[in-house]
Chain A
């Protein structure tokens, strides 16, 4: 290593990284999907005959063609109909009730429900030939009215599934409250917020390569949960788990969007088995604009009540969630918002309701933050509105309401049990880093200077949840000592840029007291570890890290036991330090490698369960607004995050920074506009969907406080999602502060020049009111 900061860096910087599209597999075919250009309609005909005659095309399938094909030789499933797309029960993201009667076919059978839904798949000798074939597939769709807004869809005047409501899920957190709560309050803020649909936009789109080998299938996939993918594919095929190997090679970002089995994956696997050839699908950017999962997508109504001193009395959050055309992946995801509705405040009464509505859009699924940004933005925008109403400084209002450090573990009215926190400390550090008083002075100066552009300061205090939900808070880990002195660590995580290969071996080396260079990490391969969960919910350090630390402890116990038997002494008389056993009574130490040589292989495998973690922080932004142009210039962002014990400060700070930039994207630039027919207006790809470039990056300072989690001995909480959660509301609040708006509902993200220009013309808060 030496010259490389991370172990991953050498190969990724020299062109020797290996992503799925880089794999050279002889005879591999490329799959291309023929996609609907309408949002909603009845598929009348699909004609693949011309496509089949195209040179280099190996196979073409539409749903209706499948009945004419021979049954798949290797699959238990009858190929006369591809199995439907599986649904996600993990973390209650979907439910059996929601999917009953709402099959998600891999290829459209009769009804198109979102733009880009695949009506046929073409496989060719290479991508060019497959696209040649795709161009020859003709189809007719009789368009139906499309619904893309949840409130409209919930009326059921246009139904996505005949005989079933578009409302596919309803949920509640906290207890309802009587009207007297609101009537008796000194101030009640009411507002509506749109949490727009976002595209996660990892730089590598989705990828899968399926390689049949004898009676087994190897699947290479850019994926966050290889064991889940193996399980889902095995179920679809009716195979035992051991016949499928899923390998995750280098993965070009995921941000939550690569943890499911998608329709295209099912098609590719069945094509590979039917044709007995390797088949891959490398999604391109333009098709991802229509068919990659989206994040967020909530229309919220809030009521927040306080007494005259600014003590919060009650908070009500009503969510209409846009979950897309099928409830399979994220129908229950908005519950993450409901459960986290109370934020960092000790509001005695909180009631949050969710109505998840099917719309004619691609499916909503976790995107970095996954429900917590929506909770934080709603609450923190409301806190600033309340501060304006009560004429209390927004800092002071927050301080008066924070859950104090001595109150942990703290059970919220929505049923979350926060593990630990010091919210005021994070806010204090953010204010100090920002120079809050100085910016307020500058703001006052500008308000007295008619020629100066208005300046605004926005705060956002958040608490989030990491690790996963009950039933998914565990991870599997194994540690193995070899005769040559190497230690192999295995865990069920699967990284997509988080630097596991560097961070985890360092943790193992430190725990065992061995040389870091001797430790190697193996992950992302289901043949290497019998079970595993993966990398999602910011759980890598918190859960997989703690699992590795736990496994190291077991390995030390085993080593001491081996030494005790070898030396004929009780285990209590074998000491462990610096990677070696030694007689407690004194005598020479024996290193792990030497011990293994004498007593045989040493490997421990175990399952470790963490509690939930509740990372928190305080973000602050300063903006300058040009009311004539509607432009927002972000002058400064400060992000203070607390993710408990940090394993690798450089990696965590890097993720916090990048995450804050994604948060800026949500606040100012990113969104999915639809035309009147419900088709996303993203035909120019990344020229239409505006992820931040370096041009848009303000000075950002990332700092941290450290409040260890009591949930594991390691004390780590989740890192990496903080910026998406904390930053957007800080920016929107700053714009609202600059414009002194009487009605902050006018500012709905993304705050494009059009939105800001219109808001700048709306009535202002009256200074004398």
Chain B
């Protein structure tokens, strides 16, 4: 099936099988491998990307559902001049990653929420709620929470 995905502002005309999940198409057809698959059943959130600004598990969405949509992945977080996103800097500053496998998912969950509401840092409970949505096995989450709070300041 012929579709066009707009990923990080670039159009990708693709011919994909309808059964292919968005994560696989991003990783293999678009060669954007920053989106990781940690469970392939929507629990861990490592594969989270933004589709039209909304955080979605890209393992639970078919690529064909995103025809014509705008997709944003971790590769598109930095500014056009290559300047890192405040979340990327904050994650590093707070030791919010170790192995880095779950990290893109946390970044995109937080980026989507921050862009929808830049005041989210005023409500620590909402930030905590974001961190609760994904799984990390290395850090114990607290550094991730601190990083999002730091970026939201």
B-binding residues in A (CB < 8 A): 3-6, 8-10, 12-19, 21-22, 24, 126-128, 201-204, 250-253, 255, 284-286, 496-499, 650-651, 653-655, 657-658, 660-662, 684-687, 691-695, 697, 700
B152 to chain A, nearest CB (A): 16
Per-position 1/0 for B51-80, Cβ under 8 A of A: 000000000000000000000011101100
> B93 on the interface (CB 8 Å rule)?
yes
Q: How far is the CA of A253 from the CA of B98 in the complex (A)?
A: 8
Return the chain B residue nearest A665 by Cβ: B137
23 A/B residue pairs, CB under 8 Å, sorted by A:
A3-B92, A5-B92, A5-B93, A6-B95, A12-B103, A14-B74, A14-B84, A15-B35, A15-B74, A15-B104, A19-B36, A19-B101, A21-B27, A22-B33, A202-B101, A203-B38, A203-B46, A204-B36, A204-B38, A250-B99, A253-B101, A687-B43, A700-B140
Residue in contact with B40 in the complex, picked from A203, A255, A286, CB distance below 8 Å: A286
Q: Is B102 an interface residue (CB 8 A)?
A: yes
Among B35, B73, B88, find the residue whose CB has the most chain A CB atoms closer than 10 A. B88
Q: Hey, which chain B residues are within 8 Å of A697, CB to CB?
A: 140-142
Q: Distance in Å from the Cβ of B110 to the closest Cβ of chain A?
A: 12
Report B-chain residues with C-beta under 8 Å of the C-beta of A651: 95
Given contacts A9-B92, A15-B104, A17-B100, 9 further A-B contacts (CB under 8 A): A14-B34, A16-B34, A128-B20, A204-B101, A651-B95, A654-B143, A658-B140, A660-B140, A686-B44
A13 touches B32 (CB 8 A): no
Q: Chain B interface secondary structure, helix, strand, loop or mixed? A: loop
* Residue of A499, A686, A691, A693 with highest tally of chain B CB at under 10 A: A693
Contact residue among A6, A499, A657, A695 (Cβ-Cβ distance under 8 Å from B132)? A695
Q: A6 contacts which of B19, B44, B92 (Cβ < 8 Å)? A: B92
Size class of the B contact interface (CB-based, 8 Å): 35 or more
Q: Are A13 and B97 in contact (CB under 8 A)?
A: yes
- Closest chain-A Cβ to B112's Cβ sits at a distance in Å of 16
For B27, what are the chain A residues with a Cβ–Cβ distance below 8 Å? 21-22
Q: How far is the CA of A5 from the CA of B143 in the complex (A)?
A: 13
Q: Which 9 A-B pairs have the closest CB atoms?
A: A15-B34, A497-B99, A252-B101, A12-B100, A22-B33, A661-B140, A497-B98, A15-B74, A694-B141
Chain A nearest CB, measured from B92 CB (Å): 4
Chain B positions near chain A (C-beta within 8 angstroms): 17, 19-20, 24, 27-28, 31-41, 43-44, 46, 73-75, 77-78, 84, 88-89, 91-93, 95, 97-104, 107, 128, 131-132, 134-145
Cα–Cα, bound, A284→B92 (Å): 28
Distance (Å) between the CB of A19 and the closest chain B CB?
Answer: 7
Identity of the chain A residue whose Cβ is nearest the Cβ of B87 in the assembled complex: A13
On chain B, the residues within 8 Å of A692 by CB distance are 140
B46, B75, B98, B135: the one contacting A654 at CB < 8 Å is: B98
Whether B135 contacts A693 by the Cβ 8 Å rule is yes
Asked whether A654 lies within 8 Å of B31 as measured between CB atoms, the reply is no
Assess the B97–A686 pair: CB atoms within 8 A: no
